[in-house]
């Protein structure tokens, strides 16, 4: 039927069978991963009371000293037929102290105090359960707590010094926590880094694994010293205003059976998936079953343990790419298509575990920092959990060091593509913060080369003296080393990372003692002695530049800059181009640098009505330059500037 509306302003048509105001449609269902996360969190809180109690399970499991000095040992070993405690205290009798089996695969052993009321097992006694180390803790009694200093406030701009305690000395030996505290922390402070990321802290039997084959998750590596020494290190860092992150390995575990979790209860599926899903095909390690309730308890409590017992300020999660996908990223070249990130190849159990980890950490410790080592570019990795993301604060921008190595390997200087370099440095997901770096420990390992070594190679051994003229190789290498690092620092992310020693162009790769090198420590060290002023080496010049680069960032805060104005201004052919990409903000009295002095008028305005704009500007307005210097394109100061006011538009301003 056709109706002619004679007075459409006053006409109202209402159907008597419908309400005058219809209810709003229901909101769309939450994304699947967020729905699974909320379900898992609800079950956890329903069963355990709260995630706070659940993640403090290290206060229940392992060995707990009671008020009367008795000791209670508890473990989860559902596949075990029997469990015994042996060690120095019983002359390594393997059957004299059996555990009692409880429900749900739990075991308990109670040891009353001695007649003199002291604990039945003395401090630092060596223990084993059946034939393997205790799962939850390594030492019998609580250690002295070293946290007199409060945690520093979360840094506005994160500048990370990635470090390994054992190689933090020029000596051909395993360095200690104490050495790091006394000799390395002052350098980190002097260099202007506000965060240290410690590698290889979780106990690992094989030193050459760089700490990535963990055998005991609740023990600080004893090869570097005592737990008290590590606590003193963290506390000293806090006193210097330095945040401390732990390189945490929850992506896999050592396959050792004598001193690790593997086959702890006699089965291969206690903490891990059984069959092929529980084996990492490249690393030769075991993969956790993140759906298991007790594995969840173990790993989440592990995070709380390091935050509470040692006062770490956050974590760099290793191997996240391997966790996110059933294929572990092996032989995958991620192009950025969404089909690569959402589908059957994604490991939902791992994703939910990471969401829980981040949710709990940030709920309990609002200033906690979490960083994901992910090369795949998973969307939402650094979005908050409440917004459907995985909850990390930062991801590592791993494409950048690969780009620099590729350029140095494959291209002559005159072949460098500036546009491609800038694209790589700025190619990151909007709204997800990145930690950028020119090189990390990966580039320092044997078989690769640091940037300094790619640039200067063997001349680093003979021509780095500041008492002789620079050779062309050293000259080029030093200048490019500084430029690469500053460009990466300024453009590559919202945080910056450097691996220890690379700030001064450490001349050698990193190679841990092994059979292939005669168990030598020659390359398992950082030669800080090269910075001795008496040596008159140019390494000190690179050190000074790295320090001043960080101190300049600390003053101006470019890493934390959000580029809020979203304005692009440049000059070409004596014409000023002004782009305002901000979705809502207009500006008045916005100062820009000017080329030639004089009078400018609008020559082209995208907001003009004839172009579908709103016509908010008077094209007859004149803009006069002032003798007020202002920084323009390429950070070049111009002697003149002018003030403009405009809306969301593109202007072209030309001299009248």
> What is the tens place of the pLDDT at every residue in 84-102?
888 888 888 888 898 998 8
Spatial neighbors of 466 by CB under 8 A, at least 6 apart, are 536, 537, 538, 540, 541
> How do beta strands 630-631 and 567-572 pair?
unpaired
pLDDT, mean over the chain? 86
The domains of the chain are located at 29-61+135-166+183-396, 62-130, 398-557, 565-655
> How do beta strands 243-248 and 314-317 pair?
parallel
Tokens of 307: 């935050």
The structure's pTM equals 0.81
pLDDT band at 655 (very low <50, low <70, confident <90, very high): low
Greater confidence (29 vs 420) lies with: 420
Spatial neighbors of 552 by CB under 8 A, at least 6 apart, are none
Q: What is the pLDDT of residue 237?
A: 98
Other C-beta atoms closer than 10 Å to the C-beta of 202 total 26
Q: What are 341-357's pLDDT values in tens digits?
A: 998 999 999 999 999 99
Q: What is the pLDDT of residue 288?
A: 97
Active site residue 373: yes
Tokens of 439: 């090189």
pLDDT band at 558 (very low <50, low <70, confident <90, very high): confident
Question: What topology is assigned to 29-61+135-166+183-396 in CATH?
Answer: TIM Barrel (3.20.20)
Question: What topology is assigned to 565-655 in CATH?
Answer: Immunoglobulin-like (2.60.40)
In a 3-state reduction of DSSP, which class is residue 410? helix
- pLDDT above 80: residue 58: yes
Selected catalytic residue, list 229, 308, 373, 607:
373
Selected catalytic residue, list 318, 432, 508, 546:
318
Q: What are 111-170's pLDDT values in tens digits?
A: 898 888 888 888 777 777 664 546 765 543 344 555 679 999 999 999 999 999 999 999
* Domain pair 29-61+135-166+183-396 / 565-655, same fold: no
- The whole-angstrom separation of Cα 199 and Cα 247 is 5
- The whole-angstrom separation of Cα 123 and Cα 227 is 13
Tokens of 495: 């945080």
Torsion of CA 615, 617, 619, 624, to 10 degrees: -170
What's the CATH code, domain 62-130?
2.60.40.10
Helix (H) or strand (E) holding 652: strand 650-655
């Amino acid at each position: 039927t056709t109706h002619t509306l004679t007075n459409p302003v006053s006409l109202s048509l209402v159907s008597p069978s419908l309400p005058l105001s219809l209810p709003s449609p229901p909101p769309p269902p939450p994304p699947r991963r967020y729905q699974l996360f909320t379900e898992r969190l609800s079950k956890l809180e329903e069963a355990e009371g709260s995630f706070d109690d659940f993640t403090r399970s290290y206060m229940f499991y392992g060995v707990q000293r009671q008020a009367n000095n008795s000791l209670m040992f508890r473990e989860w070993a559902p596949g075990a037929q029997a469990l015994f405690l042996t060690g120095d205290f019983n002359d390594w009798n393997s059957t004299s102290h059996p555990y009692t089996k409880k429900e749900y695969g739990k075991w308990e052993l109670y040891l009353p105090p001695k007649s003199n009321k002291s604990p039945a097992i003395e401090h630092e006694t060596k223990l084993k359960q059946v034939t393997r180390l205790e799962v939850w803790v390594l030492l019998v009694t609580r250690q002295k707590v070293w946290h007199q200093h409060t945690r520093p406030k979360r840094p506005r701009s994160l500048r990370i010094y990635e470090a390994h305690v054992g190689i933090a000395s020029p000596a051909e030996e395993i360095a200690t926590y104490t050495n790091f505290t006394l000799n390395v922390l002052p350098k980190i402070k002097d260099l202007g880094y506000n965060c240290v990321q410690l590698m290889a802290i979780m106990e690992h039997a094989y030193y050459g694994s760089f700490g990535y084959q963990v055998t005991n998750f609740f023990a600080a590596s004893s090869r570097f010293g005592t737990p008290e020494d590590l606590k003193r290190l963290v506390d000293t860092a806090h006193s210097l205003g330095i945040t401390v992150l732990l390189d945490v390995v929850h992506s896999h575990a050592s396959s050792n059976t004598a001193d690790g979790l593997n086959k702890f209860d006699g089965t291969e599926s206690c903490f891990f998936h059984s069959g092929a899903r529980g084996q990492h095909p490249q690393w030769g390690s075991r993969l956790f079953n993140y759906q298991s309730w007790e594995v969840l308890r173990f790993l989440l409590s592990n995070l709380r343990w390091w935050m509470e017992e040692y006062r770490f300020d956050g974590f760099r999660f290793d191997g996240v790419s391997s966790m996110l996908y059933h294929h572990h990223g092996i032989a995958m070249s991620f192009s950025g298509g969404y089909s690569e990130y959402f589908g059957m190849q994604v490991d939902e159990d791992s994703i939910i575990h990471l969401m829980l980890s981040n949710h709990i950490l940030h709920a309990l410790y609002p200033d906690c920092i979490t960083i994901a080592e992910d090369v795949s570019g998973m969307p939402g990795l650094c979005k908050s959990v409440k917004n459907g993301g995985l909850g990390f604060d930062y991801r590592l921008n791993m494409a950048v060091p690969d780009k620099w190595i590729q350029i140095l390997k494959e291209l002559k200087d005159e072949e460098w593509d500036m546009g491609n370099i800038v694209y790589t440095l700025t190619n990151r997901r909007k709204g997800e913060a990145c930690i950028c770096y020119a090189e990390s420990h990966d580039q320092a390992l044997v078989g690769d080369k640091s940037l300094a070594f790619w640039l200067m190679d063997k001349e680093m051994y003979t021509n780095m003296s500041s008492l002789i003229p620079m050779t062309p190789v050293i000259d080029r290498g030093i200048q490019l080393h500084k430029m690469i690092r500053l460009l990466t620092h300024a453009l590559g992310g919202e945080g910056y990372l450097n691996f220890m020693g690379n700030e001064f162009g450490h001349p050698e790769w990193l190679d841990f003692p092994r059979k292939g090198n005669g168990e030598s420590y020659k390359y398992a060290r950082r030669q800080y002695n090269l910075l001795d002023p008496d040596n008159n080496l140019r390494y000190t010049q690179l050190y000074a530049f790295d320090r001043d680069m960080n101190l300049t960032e600390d003053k101006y805060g470019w890493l934390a800059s959000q580029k809020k104005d979203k304005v692009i201004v440049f000059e070409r052919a004596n014409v000023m181009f002004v782009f305002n990409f901000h979705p809502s903000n207009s500006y008045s009295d916005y100062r820009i640098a000017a080329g030639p002095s004089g009078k400018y008028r609008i020559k082209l305005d995208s907001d003009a009505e004839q172009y579908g704009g709103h016509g908010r500007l008077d094209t007859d307005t004149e803009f006069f330059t002032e003798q007020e210097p202002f920084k323009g394109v390429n950070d070049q100061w111009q002697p003149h500037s002018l003030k403009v006011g405009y809306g969301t538009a593109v202007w072209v301003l030309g001299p009248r």
